[in-house]
Amino acid sequence: MALRNIRTLDDEVLRKKCRPVDEVNDKVRELLKDMADTMYNTGNGAGLAAPQVGILKRIVVIDMGDGLINLVNPEIVEQKGSQEVIEGCLSILGKWGKVIRPTEVKVKALNEKGEEVIITGKKDMAKCLCHEIDHLDGILFTDKVTEYIED
């Protein structure tokens, strides 16, 4: 298990746009594994994006309790509805806020084998997909907060 350091709000890497991955190879698969190990090690994360571990590549891992999802070059290709959700972030511990997100999204990406996959996320999964994909464009949930929640 290789744990990576999670970058925090003051790290400028979180504000940079990530580059697409040209090829899903062993190096990418190793990063996916390290990111999953790091996310699980936090004890409370549902997703982690590569810039959160200092890598400017379009890579995301998510586990909402139904098993690990590895996404390389994810992009939202369809979205529906609107929901107010409460979000936090492993890079911004202790802050929570209300954010408006779609109720459903369809995401196209590559999996750890380099195969194209389509993921449809509803409600909490839609929120998580949007949150992690935002990270790939240097956007943090705090940029979209309509109201902060006190602990």
User: What structural domains does the chain harbor?
Assistant: 12-149 (3.90.45.10)
**What's the CA gap between 127 and 32, in Å, rounded?**
21
Write out pLDDT tens, residues 86-141.
Answer: 999 999 999 999 999 999 999 999 999 999 999 999 999 999 999 999 999 999 99
Active site residue 84: no
Bridge partners (DSSP) of residue 71 are 60
- Which of 12, 116, 132, 150 is catalytic? The answer is 132
Within 13 A of 37's CA, how many CA atoms are on the CB side? 11
Q: Higher model confidence: residue 43 or residue 41?
A: 41
Residue 151: per-residue pLDDT: 64
Residue 21: per-residue pLDDT: 98
User: What is the 3-state secondary structure of the chain?
Assistant: CCCCCCCCCCCHHHHCCCECCCCCCHHHHHHHHHHHHHHHHHCCCCEEEHHHHCCCECEEEECCCCCCEEEEEEEEEEEECCEEEEEEECCEEEEEEEEEECCEEEEEEECCCCCEEEEEEECHHHHHHHHHHHHCCCCCHHHCCCEEECC
Confidence band for 1, pLDDT divided at 50, 70 and 90: low
Q: What's the pTM value of the predicted model, to 2 decimals?
A: 0.96
Confidence band for 44, pLDDT divided at 50, 70 and 90: confident
Binding annotation: 89, 131, 135
Residue 24 has pLDDT above 80, yes or no: yes
**What's the CA gap between 108 and 22, in Å, rounded?**
16
Binding annotation for Fe cation: 89, 131, 135
Ramachandran quadrant class, 105 (left: phi over 0; alpha: psi -120 to 50; beta: rest)? beta
Residue 53: per-residue pLDDT: 98
User: In percent, how much of the chain has pLDDT > 90?
Assistant: 96
